[in-house]
Protein backbone atom coordinates (compact mmCIF):
# COMPACT_ATOMS: atom_id res chain seq x y z
CA UNK A 1 0.00 0.00 0.00
CA UNK A 2 1.24 3.47 -0.85
CA UNK A 3 1.67 5.80 2.08
CA UNK A 4 2.54 9.45 1.69
CA UNK A 5 2.84 12.12 4.30
CA UNK A 6 -0.30 14.22 4.01
CA UNK A 7 0.57 17.08 6.32
CA UNK A 8 0.28 20.76 5.57
CA UNK A 9 3.72 20.94 3.98
CA UNK A 10 4.65 21.73 0.39
CA UNK A 11 3.93 18.22 -0.82
CA UNK A 12 0.31 18.08 0.23
CA UNK A 13 -1.22 19.12 -3.11
CA UNK A 14 -2.39 17.01 -6.05
CA UNK A 15 0.58 18.10 -8.21
CA UNK A 16 3.33 17.55 -5.69
CA UNK A 17 4.40 14.09 -6.96
CA UNK A 18 5.81 13.36 -3.52
CA UNK A 19 8.46 16.07 -3.77
CA UNK A 20 8.48 19.16 -1.59
CA UNK A 21 8.92 21.35 -4.70
CA UNK A 22 6.52 19.50 -7.05
CA UNK A 23 3.76 22.11 -6.80
CA UNK A 24 6.19 24.92 -7.53
CA UNK A 25 7.50 23.14 -10.64
CA UNK A 26 3.97 22.57 -11.95
CA UNK A 27 3.09 26.21 -11.33
CA UNK A 28 6.16 27.43 -13.22
CA UNK A 29 5.46 25.02 -16.10
CA UNK A 30 1.83 26.14 -16.32
CA UNK A 31 2.77 29.81 -16.40
CA UNK A 32 5.46 29.08 -19.02
CA UNK A 33 2.97 27.31 -21.28
CA UNK A 34 0.48 30.18 -20.97
CA UNK A 35 3.16 32.78 -21.77
CA UNK A 36 4.33 30.74 -24.78
CA UNK A 37 0.75 30.40 -26.08
CA UNK A 38 0.13 34.14 -25.80
CA UNK A 39 3.44 34.86 -27.54
CA UNK A 40 2.56 32.54 -30.44
CA UNK A 41 -0.90 34.07 -30.82
CA UNK A 42 0.55 37.59 -30.96
CA UNK A 43 3.27 36.49 -33.39
CA UNK A 44 0.83 34.78 -35.74
CA UNK A 45 -1.54 37.75 -35.74
CA UNK A 46 1.31 40.08 -36.69
CA UNK A 47 2.51 37.86 -39.53
CA UNK A 48 -0.93 37.69 -41.14
CA UNK A 49 -1.48 41.46 -41.02
CA UNK A 50 -1.31 43.73 -44.02
CA UNK A 51 1.84 45.60 -44.94
CA UNK A 52 1.63 49.17 -43.72
CA UNK A 53 4.19 50.84 -45.95
CA UNK A 54 3.28 49.39 -49.35
CA UNK A 55 6.05 46.81 -49.19
CA UNK A 56 3.66 44.18 -50.55
CA UNK A 57 4.24 45.65 -54.02
CA UNK A 58 7.56 44.85 -55.66
CA UNK A 59 7.16 47.71 -58.13
CA UNK A 60 6.03 51.23 -57.11
CA UNK A 61 4.00 51.43 -60.33
CA UNK A 62 1.90 48.49 -59.13
CA UNK A 63 1.12 50.39 -55.94
CA UNK A 64 0.20 53.50 -57.94
CA UNK A 65 -2.00 51.49 -60.28
CA UNK A 66 -3.72 49.91 -57.30
CA UNK A 67 -4.52 53.33 -55.84
CA UNK A 68 -5.66 54.59 -59.24
CA UNK A 69 -7.96 51.59 -59.70
CA UNK A 70 -9.48 52.12 -56.24
CA UNK A 71 -10.15 55.79 -56.99
CA UNK A 72 -11.80 54.85 -60.29
CA UNK A 73 -13.90 52.17 -58.57
CA UNK A 74 -15.10 54.67 -55.94
CA UNK A 75 -16.07 57.11 -58.70
CA UNK A 76 -13.57 59.79 -57.72
CA UNK A 77 -12.21 59.99 -61.27
CA UNK A 78 -13.85 59.38 -64.65
CA UNK A 79 -12.77 56.84 -67.27
CA UNK A 80 -10.85 59.36 -69.38
CA UNK A 81 -8.80 60.53 -66.38
CA UNK A 82 -8.23 56.90 -65.40
CA UNK A 83 -6.90 56.00 -68.85
CA UNK A 84 -4.66 59.08 -68.97
CA UNK A 85 -3.21 58.49 -65.51
CA UNK A 86 -2.75 54.78 -66.21
CA UNK A 87 -0.81 55.62 -69.39
CA UNK A 88 1.31 58.08 -67.42
CA UNK A 89 2.10 55.40 -64.83
CA UNK A 90 3.12 52.84 -67.44
CA UNK A 91 5.32 55.42 -69.20
CA UNK A 92 7.44 55.85 -66.03
CA UNK A 93 10.67 53.86 -66.26
Convert the pLDDT of each residue in 47-57 to its tens digit. 665 555 545 65
Q: Does 52 fall in a domain?
A: no
Q: Does 53 fall in a domain?
A: no
Q: Does 65 fall in a domain?
A: yes
Q: What is the pTM of this model?
A: 0.38
Please give the residue range of the domain that contains residue 77: 60-91
Q: Does 27 fall in a domain?
A: no
Query: What average pLDDT does range 13-17 have in this prediction?
Result: 58
Q: Does 28 fall in a domain?
A: no
**pLDDT recorded at residue 90:** 82
Query: What average pLDDT does range 19-23 have in this prediction?
Result: 65
Cα 53 versus chain centre, distance: 17
**pLDDT recorded at residue 89:** 83
Phi, psi of 3 (to 5 degrees): -120, 130
Q: Does 71 fall in a domain?
A: yes
24-46 tens-digit pLDDT: 778 889 999 999 999 999 888 87
Domain count, the chain: 1
Collect all residues with Cβ–Cβ distance below 8 Å to 90 and sequence separation of at least 6: 61
Amino acid sequence: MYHMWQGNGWNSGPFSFGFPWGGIVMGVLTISVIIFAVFMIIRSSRSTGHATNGSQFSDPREHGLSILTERFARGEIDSETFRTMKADLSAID
